[in-house]
C-alpha cells in the first residue's frame, strides 16, 4: 500500500518524513531518496521518470 515503517513510526511517506524530522508536515516526494551504490535519487524524480515512460507508452 506504499506505507513506510521505521521503528515505531508508520504511515505515508509524508507522515513518516514529518515525524522523524519533528515537523508538522513534510513533502515525502522531496524528502525520501533511494541510494544506489554511488548515487542518490529523490523519490519525486523516480516518480517523474515513471510517469514519463507511462505517458509515452499510451
The CB density around residue 26, as the number of other CB atoms within 10 Å, is: 19
Cα separation, 23 vs 31, in Å, equals 12
Q: Please tell me the total count of domains within the chain.
A: 1
What integer pLDDT is reported at residue 58 of this predicted model?
62
Residue 56: pLDDT band (50, 70, 90) is: confident
What integer pLDDT is reported at residue 14 of this predicted model?
98
Residue 50 domain boundaries: 4-57
Please give the share of the chain, as a percent, with pLDDT higher than 70. 97
Higher pLDDT, 37 or 42: 42
Residues near 14 by beta carbon (within 8 Å), at least 6 away in sequence: 25, 26, 27, 28
What integer pLDDT is reported at residue 55 of this predicted model?
79
- The torsion defined by the Cα of 4, 34, 58 and 2, in degrees rounded to 10, comes to 0
Amino acid at each position: 500500500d506504499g506505507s513506510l515503517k521505521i521503528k515505531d513510526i508508520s504511515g505515508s511517506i509524508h507522515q513518516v518524513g514529518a515525524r522523524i524530522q519533528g515537523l508538522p508536515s513534510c513533502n515525502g516526494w522531496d524528502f525520501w531518496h533511494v541510494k544506489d551504490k554511488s548515487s542518490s535519487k529523490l523519490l519525486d524524480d523516480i516518480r517523474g521518470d515513471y510517469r514519463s515512460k507511462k505517458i509515452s507508452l499510451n
